[in-house]
């Protein structure tokens, strides 16, 4: 009994944590921290998954529709390339300079709708989406009329800029055949942004597929059956792009958007000046970048053996433009996601959407960088069988790969600017980086240091594009999202 009593007393007096050593206690705390970290990681992974799903709901159809639309230009250029080097040079300059100049400005002006429609949709102010689109139609149509001399006088302008006479004259004929294409931009671009802002992206993809099929058939019929030559290849673009425009238009007015389309309204003519200012800022922001690569082609046209250099560079720019449809889809999707979240008063969600979009686009950019590096000898065969042109394309493939990589980041950051409504700031950044740094450096490398087309291109992408991407990245990182959220709340 006494021994049992002593044992009981000893057990009662023992410390409550005596069964655990100090290391055991520390291990329990550590395990608890690990559980919390795992839970946070799971939450982060879940948030990334949800945001990626929202992003790809826009990006997936947007990539398809943009690739399909741009493929029409690529198919036209490929048909022309098999007609001869002169025809390839003429259609390349018409597509990349004349249409490209026009395309960049009007596409940028239409991107004002990504700000206005995206934020109005996020704030559930649905009626205004249709009004904003009609205002954009008016503004872009007037702009098309002002830009019409660009097509009518393409030949003398190109001669003045130093292009070879035969290329400039044929390019002038091709450009005049593309005037209907020019006016389709004024209606198609606003329609696309109107539908994207309310996440109706599937219809854009389906209509783009139909237009692409029409384009392939019409191209074959005009070039091989009717034998209309390079002018016939240019005319085919008019058919396919207007099919795309009418398809989106009839979907919108025939019940596809019952909440956001209230019919034609006289309100579209009110507040035009404010709309013009935002459209102009958006247009300048995007076209300064778009024109940058057109200037690259024009500068190359003044080199010795210009036809071969222009053909090779145009092929690289076409491939770059083709792949660029993916970052431009992220540009549109990021603009919509940021605008929707800011319109709904969710600044933190807008910031998170930006991070996910940038990371996703960079991964895709790295994939295509590797692809170009691996198949640099073969990429030119899509457009030509000319050995001198193929050799020059092979030399330029390294710069093409790095241009694609840089362009996987920059459009996404521009999309943040569009969604936030600070296009005018980016316009000044683009002007400074591209035209005060990039173009002079390209000229210096191309002519002063005698590096030819490679020097021009290298100076322009590393002097202009890289600096611009860096500045936009710093601005995005330092953006006060709560302040942007409060400002948008005041608007709606």
Closest by CA to 186, choosing from 221, 148, 155, is 148
Residue 276: the pLDDT is 85
| Residues 385, 307 contacting (CB under 8 angstroms) | no
The distance of Cα 173 from the centroid of its chain, to the nearest Å, equals 30
- Average pLDDT along the chain: 80
Residue 34: the pLDDT is 40
Tokens describing residue 81: 């390339």
Residue 12 pLDDT grade (very low, low, confident, very high; cuts 50, 70, 90): very low
* Lowest model confidence (mean pLDDT) among 42-46, 66-70, 373-377, 438-442: 42-46
Longest Cα–Cα distance in the chain: 120
Higher pLDDT: 376 or 406? It is 406
| Torsion angle, alpha carbons of 478, 481, 482, 487, to 10 | 120
| Residues 221, 251 contacting (CB under 8 angstroms) | no
Residue 457 pLDDT grade (very low, low, confident, very high; cuts 50, 70, 90): confident
Tokens describing residue 366: 């790295």
**Average pLDDT, integer, range 192-205:** 88
CB atoms within 10 A of CB 385: 10
**Average pLDDT, integer, range 4-17:** 38
Question: End-to-end alpha-carbon separation of the chain, Å?
Answer: 85
**Cut 0.85: pTM above it:** no
**Average pLDDT, integer, range 249-267:** 90
Residue 488 pLDDT grade (very low, low, confident, very high; cuts 50, 70, 90): low
Radius of gyration of the chain (CA): 28
| Residues 383, 81 contacting (CB under 8 angstroms) | yes
């Amino acid at each position: 009994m006494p021994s049992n009593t002593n044992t009981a007393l000893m057990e009662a007096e023992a410390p409550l944590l005596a069964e655990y050593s100090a290391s055991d206690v520390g291990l329990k705390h550590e395990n608890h921290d690990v559980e919390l970290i795992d839970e946070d990681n799971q939450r982060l992974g879940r948030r990334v998954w949800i945001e990626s799903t929202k992003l790809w709901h826009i990006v997936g159809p947007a990539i398809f529709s943009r690739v399909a639309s741009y493929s029409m230009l690529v198919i036209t250029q490929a048909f022309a390339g098999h007609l001869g080097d002169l025809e390839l040079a003429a259609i390349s300059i018409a597509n990349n300079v004349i249409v490209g100049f026009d395309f960049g400005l009007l596409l940028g002006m239409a991107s004002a709708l990504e700000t206005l429609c995206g934020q109005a949709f996020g704030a559930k102010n649905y009626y205004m989406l249709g009004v904003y689109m009609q205002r954009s139609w008016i503004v872009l149509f007037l702009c098309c009329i002002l830009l019409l001399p660009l097509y009518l006088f393409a030949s003398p302008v190109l001669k003045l800029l130093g292009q070879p006479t035969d290329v400039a004259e044929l390019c002038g004929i091709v450009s005049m055949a593309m005037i209907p294409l020019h006016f389709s931009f004024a209606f198609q671009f606003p329609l696309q942004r109107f539908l994207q802002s309310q996440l109706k992206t599937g219809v854009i993809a389906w209509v783009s597929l139909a237009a692409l099929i029409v384009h392939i058939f019409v191209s074959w019929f005009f070039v091989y059956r009717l034998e209309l030559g390079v002018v016939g290849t240019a005319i085919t673009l008019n058919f396919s792009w207007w099919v795309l425009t009418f398809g989106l238009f009839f979907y919108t007015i025939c019940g596809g958007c019952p909440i956001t389309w209230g019919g034609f309204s006289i309100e579209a003519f009110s507040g035009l000046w404010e709309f013009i200012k935002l459209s102009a800022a958006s247009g300048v922001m995007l076209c300064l970048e778009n024109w940058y690569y057109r200037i690259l082609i024009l500068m190359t046209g003044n080199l010795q053996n210009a036809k071969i250099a222009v053909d090779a560079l145009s092929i690289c720019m076409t491939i770059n433009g083709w792949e660029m449809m993916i970052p431009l889809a992220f540009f549109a999707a990021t603009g919509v996601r940021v605008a929707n979240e800011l319109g709904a008063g969710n600044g933190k969600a807008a910031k998170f959407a930006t991070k996910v979009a940038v990371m996703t686009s960079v991964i895709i950019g790295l994939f295509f960088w590797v692809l170009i590096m691996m198949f640099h000898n073969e990429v030119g065969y899509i457009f030509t069988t000319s050995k001198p042109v193929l050799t020059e394309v092979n030399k330029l493939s390294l710069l093409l790969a790095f241009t694609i990589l840089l362009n996987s980041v920059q459009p996404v950051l521009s999309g943040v600017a569009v969604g936030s409504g600070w296009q005018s700031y980016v316009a000044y950044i683009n002007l400074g980086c591209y035209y005060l740094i990039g173009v002079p450096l390209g000229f210096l490398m191309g002519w002063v240091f005698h590096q030819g087309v490679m020097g021009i291109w290298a100076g322009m992408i590393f002097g202009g594009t890289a600096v611009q991407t860096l500045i936009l990245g710093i601005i995005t990182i330092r953006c006060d999202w709560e302040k942007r959220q409060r400002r948008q709340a005041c608007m709606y």
